[in-house]
Structure 1
Amino acid sequence: MTMATDSRERMVRSAAYLFRERGYSGTGFRDVIAHSGAPRGSIYHHFPGGKVQLAQEAVRYAGEFLNAGIEKAMEGGDPAAAVDAFVGWWRGVLIKSGFRAGCPVAAVTVECHDEVPQLAEAAAAVFDRWQDTLATGLANAGIPDARAARLARLIVAAVEGATLLCRAHRDVRPLDDVVAELKELTRAAVRDR
């Protein structure tokens, strides 16, 4: 890995990290440079499309990072384990950050405006990827494809919503309750096939 590539990757990771806590509009290039330790002028070199380009790449990075955990959990064939994998990371982020951090994909999504539709598209692609990965694992466990797709969408939506509730209440119980119900629902779907 070259120094330039390393610097670029650090900036993308830093942007994702900062979006989790500060949101898209609350994070500037100066913040990303300070957090990543990258040379000041390099951000404009690596992201000629500006903050929108950086945000798109940070959203993709965050999406792929979490998707890799879901895929690994799905290898065991237990859909409830995939729910745990999807949620476990968020739970850790919430606790470690003192409930200041949430999902960088959701943070960018809620701030998307008509003038930056590419951010909404990047976020939608990540949510779709998570849903597809979960749906594939659920289908591989024997749940019919149509139901697997609906359950996958429910899992993503419920976890994202529970994450917001956790931040508002400064407590992980909303996430824990949602996870318990989602795991029971996925187990029942496997039994009912």
Structure 2
Amino acid sequence: MSPRKSDSRERMVLSAAELLREYGAGATSIDRVLAHSGAPRGSVYHHFPGGRAQLIDEAVALAGDFIAGLIDAATRAGDPVKAVDAFFELWRERLVRSDFRAGCPIVAVAVETNDDAPHLARSAAAVFARWQEALAALFERHGLPEQRGKRLAAFIIAAVEGSVIMCRAERSTAALEAAAAEIHDLLIHALQSRPETGPRP
């Protein structure tokens, strides 16, 4: 069954997010999104009056929501160490499944200069902040001081994103696995040293 015409907007946003992961922001053009999504050309400015910048901004939001949902699902498991382990494993699976082609679309936007759309960097920053807040809240619920939880959350997101970049360049999961192992041990030590025991309600 062919997709309904009304699906073209959703398909374009999803295609933009997938192209950002593999090719970066600079190479994610309207033409490339149309070819990838199969959406009709006339739908571009009907659905995205702001043009390419609006399309990429919505793709960033979609990708941010997707990862945030995975973080939220992991944190509901109740064990912060297992939650972070699962986050690293998610990225390992994505790298292997894509033959090391798929990175993070948020990083793709954050690292490129977008003089014509400076709000894209702010959108990427907001996504990173959302991910960090979710992890920090988990750590605080398990007895870590607020500032320690925030620092650990920022460190974990930075370690994941940096190691994913290294893995793509090296075509190996070694950097990600090393970061995961070190952070696993760090979290166990931090939670054992917390001033309070047991999760907070």
Do they fold alike, i.e. is TM over 0.5? yes
Say whether 1:104 aligns with 2:105.
yes
**Pair 1:138–1:171, CA change in 2 (3 A):** same
Per-residue CA distance 1:106-164 (angstroms, 9 max, x = gap):
01111133432100000000000000001011111111111000000000001100001
CA shift, 1:65, in A, is 0.1
Say whether 1:155 aligns with 2:156.
yes
CA shift, 1:37, in A, is 1.9
Say whether 1:9 aligns with 2:10.
yes
TM-score under structure 2 length normalisation:
0.90
For structure 1, the residue ranges without an aligned partner over 5 or more in a row are: none
Partner residue, 1:131? 132
**Pair 1:4–1:118, CA change in 2 (3 A):** farther
Paired AA for residue 183 in structure 1: H
2:41 alignment partner, SS class:
coil
Whose Rg is larger? 2
**Pair 1:60–1:85, CA change in 2 (3 A):** farther
With 43-52 and 119-128 compared, the bigger mean Cα shift is at 43-52
Do the aligned partners of 1:69 and 1:85 also contact (CA within 8 Å) in 2? no
CA shift, 1:4, in A, is 5.6
With 33-42 and 131-140 compared, the bigger mean Cα shift is at 33-42
Paired AA for residue 152 in structure 2: L
Identity of aligned residues (%): 52
Partner residue, 1:26? 27
CA shift, 1:185, in A, is 1.1
CA shift, 1:3, in A, is 4.5
Name the CA distance, whole Å, in 1 between partners of 2:189 and 2:9.
45
**Pair 1:86–1:5, CA change in 2 (3 A):** farther
**Pair 1:64–1:85, CA change in 2 (3 A):** farther
**Pair 1:5–1:73, CA change in 2 (3 A):** farther
Name the CA distance, whole Å, in 2 between partners of 1:114 and 1:42.
25
Partner residue, 1:76? 77
Name the CA distance, whole Å, in 1 between partners of 2:149 and 2:123.
23
CA shift, 1:6, in A, is 2.5
With 39-48 and 116-125 compared, the bigger mean Cα shift is at 39-48
Aligned positions, number = 192
Name the CA distance, whole Å, in 2 between partners of 1:27 and 1:51.
9
Q: In angstroms, what is the RMSD of aligned CA positions? A: 1.5
**Pair 1:5–1:60, CA change in 2 (3 A):** farther
